[in-house]
Amino acid sequence: MSTQRASVPSAATPQGAGRYAPSPSGELHLGNLRTALVAWLFARSSGRRFLVRIEDLDRARDAGTADAQLADLRALGIDWDSEPVLQTGRGDAHEAAIAQLSQAGLVYECTCTRKDILAAPTAPHAPPGAYPGTCRDLTEAERDSARARIAPRLPALRLRAPAGETRLGFDDLLLGHVEGDIDDLVLRRGDGTVAYNLAVVVDDAAMGIDQIVRGDDLASSTPRQILLQRLLGLPTPPAVSYAHVPLVLGPTGARLAKRDGAVTLTDLGSAGLSASAVLGMLAESLGLASPGERVTAAQLVARFDPATMPREPWVWRPASA
């Protein structure tokens, strides 16, 4: 993935909305909270609405923490403009999108396991783990045999990416110009769960989201999502803008995780740090507050300038608290 810094547009008052879309797989840690704060600041400073969506499609990873996550956002002063959307309530829209793609001849069944994909030869210059197209052009008899082989498990559904759509670029407000590879991505898993890339595209469009701010670990998924937007006739860049926020790293330089100690609002509170103190710490990491300064989220809106956002990860060291 190549990057080059892009210019930041002026903050005219547009229609549309920004959003934060956590998965309820656990409590929000400092990295999640920092990204949520940045997404909120992007939206509020540009006159947009701010919405929340709980991405609870993967039931196996749902730890039931959605309410706690919302409470943590409120504690920091992050508000939103309508009731949070539950992604599990959007199933009909997801299936309608798959049906639309299928009617266009852009969907096929896949019975490959992850092991099969990793073991299969890939096309030259294909990224690691890219789907090699094993099931793409099977005959009906071969599909019947493949279905029988995996029964009672059901096949997954994959997008038949149009010819020539193997790489796509977009301009990101923080990363600059980004390019990424596209393969025949999964639309629905064999267990019936709709894939993230499809659901997020359909749901963002339905919610009127035109400003997508999230962690930069998701930047490589964006070209796939833009392709889906095009194929489904949904808004694409520049009508939709992207800003992928640098992650928070733990003391070892690895991505921040619970193993790094007190990294959730609950744990930090037990260690004597109030939500206000945590907000000040996050603001300091973004260059929006002085060390130890107590601020409110509302005060940060006036200070926020996307052009001055840090472009490097923030390393969290508990001793600095």
Annotated binding site for L-glutamate: 19-23, 55, 196, 214
> CA-to-CA distance for 94 and 202, rounded, in angstroms?
7
In the annotated binding site for ATP, the residues are 258
Q: What are phi and psi of 248, to 5 degrees?
A: -100, 130
List CB contacts of 254: < 8 A, sequence separation 6 or more. none
Closest to 64 (Cα-Cα) out of 56, 72, 75, 53: 56
Sign of the Cα torsion 217, 222, 223, 224 reads positive
> CA-to-CA distance for 239 and 293, rounded, in angstroms?
37
Report residue 58 as tokens: 């993967």
In the annotated binding site for Zn(2+), the residues are 110, 112, 131, 135
In the annotated binding site, the residues are 19-23, 55, 110, 112, 131, 135, 196, 214, 258
Report residue 85 as tokens: 């959307």
List CB contacts of 134: < 8 A, sequence separation 6 or more. 110, 112, 116, 117, 120
Residue pair 180/168 in contact (Cβ under 8 Å)? The answer is yes
